[in-house]
Amino acid sequence: MSYGRDKKAITESKKSKTLRITLAVLYFIQVVLTTFPFMWGVSEKGELKQLTAFEVAVQPGGYDGAQDIKLAIIFAVLVLFPAVCFFFCILNKTLVKDFLSIVCALTCAGIITFGIGGLIAMGGVVALLLYILILFLSTMSLLSSVAVQNTEE
């Protein structure tokens, strides 16, 4: 029973499946990396400390100003986008996951590069390098999916 869906549209090649699973694993690693130090910040005592994406996005003491709210939104994007893309890569076999993955990688890499800038810590550097790899693999997956669709027609 196909429930109105064409089963040929859901099939994927072995290369596309391997790339989809690889992208899902890389997005899972990105979700785990949000618990690593992403940026340097100044504590209330005036000491330098490393902050994770969760610490910046969710501040239990509240937000002091517009800068804290802007950083919270930026880091919420860095936490939510990889999680959403992980589920898309696991559950979706169509071209939508490739486009979403490319948009997510470009957005998150831009946020890390231009949003954090000189305050970047080691977790942010590793995340940035993985987003570059994800962008490359997403492009490969998109091209292989298009090639498979063209050969089926």
Q: Kindly report, residue by residue over 6-19, the tens digit of the pLDDT.
A: 555 556 778 888 88
With contact defined as beta carbons under 8 Å apart, do 82 and 104 qualify?
A: yes
With contact defined as beta carbons under 8 Å apart, do 27 and 149 qualify?
A: no
Residue 48 in any domain: the answer is: yes
Model confidence band, residue 111 (pLDDT cutoffs 50, 70, 90) = confident
Token pair belonging to 51: 């902050």
pTM value surpassing 0.85: no
Residue 5 reports pLDDT greater than 80 = no
pLDDT, tens digit, 9 for 90 and up, residues 31-89 = 898 888 888 877 677 788 887 877 777 766 666 777 677 777 878 888 888 999 898 88
Question: What's residue 62's pLDDT?
Answer: 64
Token pair belonging to 12: 């994927």
Token pair belonging to 133: 């790899």
Do strands 48-52 and 37-42 pair parallel, antiparallel, or not at all (unpaired)?
antiparallel
Residue 110 in any domain: the answer is: yes
Domain residue limits at 47: 23-148
Question: What's residue 52's pLDDT?
Answer: 81
Residue 13 in any domain: the answer is: no
Residue 103 in any domain: the answer is: yes
* C-alpha to C-alpha distance for 111 and 74, rounded to whole angstroms: 7
State the DSSP code for 65: S
Residue 98 reports pLDDT greater than 70 = yes
Question: What's residue 149's pLDDT?
Answer: 64
Residue 12 in any domain: the answer is: no
